[in-house]
């Protein structure tokens, strides 16, 4: 992986952890959590294609 890919993966994992934590704590519902994860996955895909 390149440095850019490593950074994109690290950012994705941090964001995914935040989504899971907020969902577990009741700060967001499942629909919002899935929407945020879907958005983060798309961002990761775009970074991987660069």
pLDDT digits (tens, 9 = 90+) for 1-50: 567 788 999 999 999 999 999 999 999 999 999 999 999 999 999 998 88
Single pTM value for the model: 0.81
Going from N- to C-terminal start, the domains of the chain cover: 3-49
User: CA geometry: angle at 12 spanning 42 and 19, to 5°?
Assistant: 95
pLDDT at position 32: 98
pLDDT at position 2: 64
Give dist(CA 45, CA 4) in Å, integer.
12
For residue 40, give the nearest of 21, 16, 6 by alpha carbon: 16
């Amino acid at each position: 992986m390149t440095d850019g890919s490593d950074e994109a993966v690290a950012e994705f994992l941090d964001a995914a952890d935040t989504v899971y934590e907020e969902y577990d704590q009741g700060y967001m519902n499942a629909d919002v959590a899935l929407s945020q994860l879907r958005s983060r996955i798309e961002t990761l895909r775009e970074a991987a294609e660069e």
